[in-house]
Amino acid sequence: MASSLRLVTPAFVLAVSLGGIALAGQGCSSDPPAATGCDSARCAAGNKCLPLNGETRCRKTCASNTDPATSCPAGYTCVAHPDSEPFCEQQDPATMPSPGPKQWGTFCGTPGGVDANPACDFEQGFYCFAQSPQDADAYCTKYDCTKDLDCAPGFFCGDANVAPNAKTATRTYGETVKVCQRRAYCAPCQADFDCPAVAGSPQRCITDDDGVGFCTQECDQAGACGRLDARCSDVGGIKVCYPRAGRCKGTGELCSPCRSDADCPQGSCVTGDKTNEKSCTVKSPSPCKLDDQNGKACPAPIGPAGRVARCLGNQKTEQGVLYPDIPKDECHGYYQLGEGGDIGCWTPNR
């Protein structure tokens, strides 16, 4: 966040992770002898011998983060593992607050600002996370996380631009902060249970073109996604909203998909004009000019053939400021309407 927020945001205490320790009353009935190793028959009900970080021991299995019958007790999160079935890992007790109101996901819209927002449990380190002062989806959460287990189930620890935020609409560039964020569209995930329902609609954890998991909603017809940067696609027999770019996070090149400026080391992560699409800009090798209609200074963007790049960000014209979200002298996917035009790097004009 901005420097004023960083001064009042408590840094998380780094502690030895307790993830994977058998739950009290639910773990091993006794520790198996070292010579014989872990024996699932000696584990408490609902526990199995499962590996984590080179150690196999009794661990509570799970299949959900919401269903009381298959989820974990308070203070634990159901985590998917590539080499075993899902099991409960303990959240870091040094960062987890005492349960109470005004915490994870509580609405904190204006007025109130980021820190000391009356809608959030400021005493236990909750701040208001928003994309603008008028953000209708603003919610209370924790900043300065280092890992997903610093966050509640249904949240992940990820980078976000410092601003705009609940206090200011002014854009920052290159400044990011770690925030526990809701697992909504394009949030990283390992399993379906990582992705909670959004507005009553179920989400799935789907792998992208690179084999990386991301959260997305189910759909049943073209246009059902409610966003131009995704299409309703059949993935493994399930219809879901799939990014037209094939992924939610790319390599940082021009037009590469992104979530924040941290994903764009050569420029900024910007939102497209007339679309939800987020993509990277890159620094122009020479200053941009309004009369440079061919984008000669810009490299060819990745993405569909025929797309072009322009360098028209944050420049004043008689009609106003062109693309105020994009810094001056940075190349971006050109937003052009009309026959054969583009709405962004990936969104088709149809």
| Mean pLDDT score, 280-292 | 80
Residue 144: per-residue pLDDT:
95
Residue 164: per-residue pLDDT:
93
In the chain, the percentage of residues whose pLDDT exceeds 90 is 53
Residue 212: per-residue pLDDT:
96
Residue 199: per-residue pLDDT:
79
| pLDDT tens digits along 219-269 | 987 678 888 899 999 998 999 999 999 999 999 999 999 999 999 999 999
In the chain, the percentage of residues whose pLDDT exceeds 70 is 83
Question: Left (φ > 0), alpha (ψ -120 to 50) or beta: where does 340 sit?
Answer: left
User: Where is pLDDT greater, at 17 or 190?
Assistant: 190
Structure tokens at 339: 């026959």
Residue 291: per-residue pLDDT:
62
Instruction: Characterize the bridge pairing of strands 269-271 and 238-243.
Output: unpaired
pTM reported for the whole predicted model: 0.83
Structure tokens at 261: 């400026």
Residue 322: per-residue pLDDT:
77
| pLDDT tens digits along 262-272 | 999 999 999 87
* Burial call 224-249: b when 16+ CB within 10 Å, e when fewer: ebebbbbbbbeeeeebbbbbbbebbb
Please determine, for residue 55, whether its predicted confidence score (pLDDT) is greater than 60: yes
* Burial call 168-193: b when 16+ CB within 10 Å, e when fewer: eeebbbeebbbbbbbbbbbbbbebbb
The C-alpha torsion from 144 through 150 and 153 to 159, rounded to 10°, is: 30
| pLDDT tens digits along 182-213 | 999 999 999 999 999 887 888 999 999 999 99
Give me the chain's average pLDDT, please. 83
Please determine, for residue 35, whether its predicted confidence score (pLDDT) is greater than 60: no
Residue 94: per-residue pLDDT:
79
- pLDDT band at residue 216 under the 50/70/90 scheme: very high
